[in-house]
Amino acid sequence: MPNRKGFWCLPLCCRTVSTSVEGGGTTTAAFFDLDKTIISKSSTLAFAPAFYRHGLITTIQACRGAVAQLTFRRAGASPGQMERIRDQITALCSGWHAEQVTQIVTAGLSQAIGRHVYSEARSLLADHQRAGHDVVIVSTSGQEIAGPIGAMLGVSDVIATRLTVADGKYTGSVDFYAYGQAKADHVRMLADRRGYRLADCFAYSDSVTDLPLLELVGTRT
Residue with the larger pLDDT of the pair 165 and 46? 165
Residue with the larger pLDDT of the pair 199 and 12? 199
Q: Does 175 qualify as catalytic in the annotation?
A: no
The matching CATH number, chosen from 1.20.1250.20, 3.50.50.60, 3.40.50.150, 3.40.50.1000, for 11-214 is: 3.40.50.1000
Q: What is the pTM of this model?
A: 0.80
- Closest by CA to 147, choosing from 161, 133, 134, is 161
- Closest by CA to 162, choosing from 149, 147, 174, is 174
- Most confident residue range from 21-25, 30-34, 59-63: 30-34
pLDDT, residue 58, reads: 73
**Would you say 44 and 149 are in contact if contact means Cβ atoms under 8 Å apart?**
no
Least confident of 40-49, 53-62, 100-109, 122-131: 53-62
pLDDT, residue 126, reads: 96
**Would you say 90 and 163 are in contact if contact means Cβ atoms under 8 Å apart?**
yes
Q: Does 185 qualify as catalytic in the annotation?
A: no
Least confident of 43-52, 70-79, 211-220: 70-79
The band of 78, judged by pLDDT with boundaries at 50, 70 and 90, is low
Computed over every residue of the chain, the mean pLDDT equals 80
Domain ranges of the chain: 11-214
Measured from the Cβ of residue 60, the count of other Cβ atoms closer than 10 Å reads: 8
Measured from the Cβ of residue 199, the count of other Cβ atoms closer than 10 Å reads: 11
Residue with the larger pLDDT of the pair 6 and 76? 76
Q: Where are the beta strands (DSSP E) in the chain?
A: 29-32, 134-142, 157-166, 169-176, 202-204
Of 35, 200, 206, 210, which is the active-site residue? Answer: 35
Look at residue 163 and tell me whether its pLDDT is greater than 70: yes
Give the C-alpha separation, 114 to 106, whole Å.
11
Q: Left if phi > 0, otherwise alpha if psi is -120 to 50, otherwise beta: which for 58?
A: beta
